[in-house]
Structure formats: structure tokens, C-alpha cells
Chains A and B, each alone.
Chain A
């Protein structure tokens, strides 16, 4: 392996990249635009009917009367779960985002409040911070019903309050959910377009033919270009994280799996780009081919909104998209901190990376027919 060439090539690639003001601008501005604009837009999506799960631990006439009020609101679709059900687990398993839990001492506290005006009781409000709109709408409904209920009970003071419980265990915002998807998407686009462009442009310019007649191997060339692409991946990733933290108060965890996923994702989509580049002859077609792959994947792999919001058949489609595993891997590693799922999704990404990159290398040929 000619390391001298690999480093020289990396140096020259970076030099050329830095001199292309447009490319540098978009490598940095593109993620910034995504995080600023899409972060705002996708934090608000509407629904006609909202799912609300209710767990009544009190099982009294008073709690039942409050549930009846909620059941009469046409905007809410109520699901009642048993008192012995683990509510957090239930929400996760059933992909529900909002629930309320009426405490055991609900009616007892209300009755006490007639004699002791300092007594109050809190209903637990379980919510998924990544579903900001749904959460916000249901919270408003519950707040206003509680206000009326309080007024009906006491005529003035507020006895029943809300106690917020994030289903993610910690306080996360929608942007925390959104950022890993954005990192996956940004790496995907830069790797796929970069690989395709390299193959089509360098083939058209005779550079691949020239390299074939020089003492450099295909492996050395691909490795040097991968190093360059990895540098770009990390630049984009850190730009996203920097602005995410600075502007949106992003809260994430950076572990070894984060780095493994960024590197594996870069190899995965570079391989995919090489495969496309093998069959695309000119630069115009290359752009279209890149778009045809990246855009559907962007929308179908749960990049900007949770898959649970999509129809079931589209959720099944997502299961075969590599970007889905990247997004979920990054989310579990960076947000949910779920070690088991992180390993699971990272393993998929590594296998995808291995398969796509090897096929890409195999199909990338310099020789002409």
C-alpha cells in the first residue's frame, strides 16, 4: 500500500474542496439550513384525531367522571389500560405517544381538599418529546378540561395539576429526535453524490484512464478517496451538532457507536454511489440517479418524522432501507441511550456497509471494454 500516494491524494482532494467555495458553502450551509428550517417546520404536524391512553389507578366515581369528560371530546381517541399494566412499556410497544395516569389517591385527595385547602393531587402526563405537536394539542385539551373540572369541584382554586413524564426517560426535544436523522441523511447525500460525481466526471475527464497507466492500484485510490469523504462526513456532522447545541440546546450522547455509525454510514453510501456510478455515463444522469435514490429514502426511512406516523405498508418498506437502520442506530446511540438497540442497528449498518462497499469496489473498474 502506497501510503505516500494516499496522503498526497487526500491532501490534494482537501485542497480542491477548500477552493470550491460553492462546495464548501453547501457542505456547511446545507446541514445548517436543514437544522434551522426543517427543525422548525417538522416540529409541528397536525392530526385530526389524537390517541390518548388513560390508566386509572384510583378506579373511583370521581376518576370515572373525569374520564367521561375526556371521552366526550371528539378530538380524542381514548384507550383505557388496566391498572396493573406498565404504562411506559405499553406506550413504547403500542407506539402511542401520550397518556395520563390518574393516581390511586385521586378521589381521596379531592375529598380532603374540601376540608384542607392546601391539599392537591397531580395527574401524570406521559408524553413523547419527539411528537411535539401531538403532545402540545393533547396537553392543552387536558389542561382546559382540568380547569373546568377544578372549577366544578371547588369553584375557585386548582386542586388537580399535571405532572409531566417524558416517555424517553430524560427531557428531550423534537430536535434531539431530528438531529440523528439529519446526520444520516447528510452523510447519505454527500457520499452518494460524491461517489457518483467522482466516477462519472473522472471517467469523462480521462483521469481514470490516466490512473490505470500509472503505478497506483484501485485499492489505494479508493482508500484515499474514502479518507477524504470521511473527513467531509465528520465536518458535516460536527456542523449539525454545533448549530444544534448552539441554537436548539441539543442534548445528545456521543459514544463510540456514534463514531462507528458515522464511519460505517460513509462506507455504506459511498459503496452505493460507486454502484450507481458504474452504470451512469454522464454527469446530468448522475444527478438524477442520485436524486432518485436519496429522496425516496429520505422520506421513507424516518428521517424527519417517526415511522409510526406512516401507513403500515410504508413502515414495512422502511425496514429494507439502509438509511432506516442508520437513523435508528444513531437515535438509539445518541438519544435513547439504548445499548441493546444500538448494537442491533449498528450491526445492520455494518453489514450493509460491508456488502455495498465491497460490491461498489468490485464494480468500479478503470479498464474500458
Chain B
């Protein structure tokens, strides 16, 4: 039996209905007595491999729908990147999963347990780094980890965490004296004090310089190597590309694409582009076109050849060599998440409309 909250279309009253997956239940609004039906969708088969399951999750703020009936699951041991521009609904979603915000409708399970009824059981098994988290300024790194560790019945080895996060030389420093990157590393370290199976990291590298961002990436990659499930929200596509086993792209409260990086590129990307630089030969374009390649000349004297499969790169180079066509160098660029996002939404991940 599943509970679902629906809003009366006439008076706006929130009504709770119960039913089984696949069932259609009739409901009557207790306020205005309007009759209606609630459809309980058939859920995907629940796999014991799933660390997190989200079904028809919805969050409304008055007329604004921040999260619009989204469903997805996160497998145990993977880095799941929840990617989207600022204001897409990432943090609202992750905070509903973390039980910080109350969903308007939908179901969330962590490690098979419904968080509405069993979140206290789940708390011991998850670690969380909230967005823009700052710890106590006047505690040292070690004292901070000791403090948070005492809240749990399950304790990880603090020395082990300090070593794993490469914080040994900083352990006696006050939190306020750390750099932004180190603070975020401490934030991740705090989320590990109970040796959790699932770690939620909400925008862990926002505001960091590229070097500090790379440092945090290494830490997150290390979590995956230790078998942790990582739920990562980010608006940096390179972060998702570098770290994620599975990516869900959210835009205006809806998931618009989901899969591994390869799957997303194959499904939504434009393939790869082989760029032949400083190629002045006028015949080159005609010859490649005759061979069935999609070619165009770019303003700076380069030739751009669209490549569907990596083997085709060698074909292009063989043709150029055979025809004695001279060029400066080559460059191969694969489609990325930015292009996919642009193609799907007409906007950049940074939020600027095209």
C-alpha cells in the first residue's frame, strides 16, 4: 500500500490517498466534495542493488513547482551525479531525500526504508555534506571530527579518515584558518565519521578554485574506491564527467536525461569532431565528402570532420595521407554534457539562455 498526496483542483486542499501500484483510487475532497481519481503508477521492480529509490517526487511552493514528479534510482557503490543549472531543483531534491524538506508528494527509500517512517534508522547509515556548509570555526580539524563522531553509535576510525582525506598536517589547525578547499575536505571528512554506506555531497566544489576543486574530486573518487555510494549534486559538467558512473540531468524541476556519460553522449550527443588544423587544400573537403564524411571549413583555415566512431579517425588520416594533403596538426573533441544540455534545453548549464 502506497500513500500519495494530491491537490484538489477546485479548492486546492491536499488530500492523502492510499492504493497499490497500478491501482486507480476514487477520492472525494473533504472540503468541496469534488470527486476525482488518483492513479498509483506501477513502480519499477525494486532491486536490492538500489541504495536510493525515488518515485514521483514532487515539491510545490505555492504555484511554483520546484520538483516535478521525478523518479530515479541510485545503485550501491556508484557515484551518482545530479547535474543541473542553479535553480533547477537539485538541492530541493537532495534535501527531500535527506529529510530536511518535506515533499509535496512522492516516495523516497534509502536502503529499502521509507524515509517518512524510518529516517531515524537510516541516519546512522548515511553521511551528509550540506550545501555551503561551514563547521565550528574555533574547533580544530580533529576536534571537529571527534565532536560529530560522538553523535553516532557507529564510529569510523578518525585517524583513518584524517589520513584518507590527507588532513594529517592540518589536524591541529582551527577550522577558520583553513583554505576553502581544505574546509570542503573537512566537510567531506565529517560526513564519513559514522562510516556511512551512502554519502550525500551537495555542491561540494562550488566557490573553490580549480586546484582546490581537483583536490575534492580526488577525495570523492577515493570514496567510490572504498565502495561508498556517492550522491553528488553539481552544476559543473566537468565534475560529473570526471566522477560520475551515472548522471541525471535536471532542468526546471524535471529530469531531462539520465544514464552513464557514454549513454548520454551516444543518445543525445553529436559524436566527436576531428579538427584538421591549418589545412589550406581546397580539394580536401571535396575528397572527404566523396568518402561520405560530414565536413565543413572553419574560418581559421581548419577543417572540422564529424566522426561517428573512433575507427573513422584513422580513415580520415589515411585519406589525407594518400592524397598528399598537408596540414598542421589534428585535434579530436568529443561531445560533452554542456552540448547535450544545450541541445536538450536551449540553455547553457551556467543558466544563460542562448
CA distance A53 to B313 in the complex (A): 112
**Beta-carbon contact of B95 and A214 below 8 Å:** no
Nearest B residue to A209, CB-CB:
B130
Interface membership of B101, Cβ < 8 A: yes
List B contacts of A8 (CB < 8 A).
147, 150
**Beta-carbon contact of B95 and A19 below 8 Å:** no
**Beta-carbon contact of B148 and A212 below 8 Å:** no
**Beta-carbon contact of A369 and B100 below 8 Å:** no
List B contacts of A213 (CB < 8 A).
98-100, 123, 126, 128
List A contacts of B126 (CB < 8 A).
213
A83 CB, min distance to chain B CBs, angstroms: 68
Interface membership of B61, Cβ < 8 A: yes
Interface membership of A20, Cβ < 8 A: yes
Known A15-B143, A367-B101, A368-B100; contact A214-B123, beta-carbon cutoff 8 A: yes
Interface membership of B120, Cβ < 8 A: yes
Contact with A along B89-110 (1 / 0, CB 8 A): 0000001001111100000000
**Beta-carbon contact of A19 and B174 below 8 Å:** yes
What total of A-B pairs shows CB separation below 8 Å? 72
**Beta-carbon contact of A19 and B100 below 8 Å:** no
Known A12-B139, A15-B138, A19-B174; contact A215-B153, beta-carbon cutoff 8 A: yes
Which residue from A4, A16, A215, A369 sits with its C-beta under 8 Å from B137?
A16
Nearest A residue to B131, CB-CB:
A206
Interface membership of A216, Cβ < 8 A: yes
**Beta-carbon contact of A210 and B174 below 8 Å:** no
**Beta-carbon contact of A369 and B61 below 8 Å:** yes
Which residue from B134, B137, B138, B150 sits with its C-beta under 8 Å from A206?
B134
**Restricting to B1-38, which residues have a CB under 8 Å from any CB of A?**
none
List A contacts of B138 (CB < 8 A).
15-16, 19-20
Interface membership of A94, Cβ < 8 A: no
List B contacts of A205 (CB < 8 A).
132-135
**Beta-carbon contact of A15 and B139 below 8 Å:** yes
Known A8-B147, A210-B130; contact A368-B123, beta-carbon cutoff 8 A: no
Interface membership of B242, Cβ < 8 A: no
Interface membership of B72, Cβ < 8 A: no
**Beta-carbon contact of A368 and B95 below 8 Å:** yes
Contact with B along A197-213 (1 / 0, CB 8 A): 00000000111011011
Known A12-B136, A16-B139, A214-B152; contact A368-B131, beta-carbon cutoff 8 A: no
Interface membership of B151, Cβ < 8 A: yes
What are 29 pairs between A and B in contact, CB < 8 Å? Answer: A4-B150, A8-B147, A8-B150, A9-B147, A12-B139, A12-B143, A12-B147, A15-B139, A15-B143, A19-B138, A19-B174, A205-B134, A206-B130, A206-B131, A206-B132, A207-B134, A207-B135, A209-B95, A210-B128, A210-B130, A210-B133, A210-B190, A212-B100, A213-B99, A213-B123, A215-B120, A215-B152, A366-B100, A369-B61
With A207-B133, A214-B152, A368-B101 given, name 13 new contacts (CB 8 A): A5-B151, A12-B143, A12-B147, A19-B138, A19-B174, A206-B134, A207-B134, A207-B136, A210-B130, A212-B100, A215-B123, A215-B124, A367-B102
Q: Which 8 A-B pairs have the closest CB atoms?
A: A206-B130, A205-B134, A206-B133, A16-B138, A19-B138, A8-B150, A209-B130, A213-B128
